[in-house]
Amino acid sequence: MTQKTSRLLSVVAAAESLGVSRFTLRSWLRQRRIPYHRLGRRIVLSEADLERFLRGNRVEARDEEAGDDFHAGRAR
């Protein structure tokens, strides 16, 4: 059974990768929004888990032709 292992990142490196503060990332970890590994007292996150988190929180762009009800009627 061959499985590619994902690179492990520290909390600081993972926060930089996501573009958030380490405090925000630690809050998300406490909320169990992102899986992590505990190595003794050290917390590490896999790049694959971070990528899954990003894909799961993606917001698609609106279709321009469908119209924008929220901004309809506003002066442009």
Residue 14's pLDDT is 98
Residue 64's pLDDT is 77
Could you identify the residue written with the tokens 């309809």?
72
* 22-53 pLDDT per residue, tens: 999 999 999 999 999 999 999 999 999 999 99
Q: Against a cut of 0.75, is the pTM above it?
A: no
Average pLDDT of the chain to the nearest whole number: 88
Share of the chain above pLDDT 90, in %: 74
Q: DSSP states of 7-74 as a string?
A: PEEEHHHHHHHHTS-HHHHHHHHHTTSS--EEETTEEEEEHHHHHHHHHHT--PPPPGGG--TTTTT-
